[in-house]
Copies of this chain bind each other. A is one copy, B any other.
Amino acid sequence: MKDIDIGDVSKTTGLTPATLRFYEKKGLIVSSGRNGLRRLFDPSVLQTLSLIMLGQKAGFSLDEIREFAASGGKTKFPTETLLKKADEIDQLVRQLSALRDGLRHVVECQAPTHTECPRFNRIMKVALARTNKGATTRIRKGKSIR
C-alpha cells in the first residue's frame, strides 16, 4: 500500500501535524518514511489513531494507550485489568445515560430550580450511585474523527 503524507493524515483525522509529531515522539505512532522532510505514514496509522481517540474518550492516558494501541491490540495488559476497565466504562455509561436523561428532563421541567424537582433528583441519584469506590473518570474537550 502507498504511504500517506502527514498532511493527509491530518486532514482525515482532524489532528494537526504538530499533534501527530507529538504522538510519534511519545511512541504512539510510527512514521514509515519521508518525502523530503515530510513524514509518511502507513495507512494503518489511521486505525491506530482511531483507537487512540477512542481510548481517550474512555479515560485512558496517552501512556496507557501506547501499551494497547501501539501493538495493534496485542496488549501487555492482563485480562483482569481489561475487565476492570470494561466494568469502569460500563459504570460510566450508566452515569452518563442518567445525566443525559436529566438534561433532557430539565428542558421540559417546570420546577423553580431543578434541585427541587423530584424527578431530577431521582435521576441524579441513579447517576451518582456509588457502585465503584476507586478512580472514575472525568472528561475534557476533544476532537472527533471527521
Q: Which residues of B contact A113 (CB under 8 A)?
A: 71-74
Number of A residues whose C-beta is below 8 Å from B? 61
Find chain B residues with CB under 8 A from A72 CB. Answer: 113-116
A37 at the interface (CB under 8 A from B): no
Q: Interface centre among A56, A96, A103, A104, by most B CB within 10 Å? A: A103
Whether A57 lies near B136 (C-beta < 8 A) is yes
Beyond A75-B106, A89-B96: 5 further Cβ-contacts under 8 Å? A50-B124, A56-B138, A82-B107, A137-B142, A138-B141
What residues make up the interface of A, taking CB atoms closer than 8 Å to B? Answer: 44, 47, 50-51, 53-59, 61, 71-75, 79, 82-83, 85-86, 89-90, 92-93, 95-97, 99-100, 103-104, 106-107, 112-117, 120, 124, 127-128, 130, 132-146
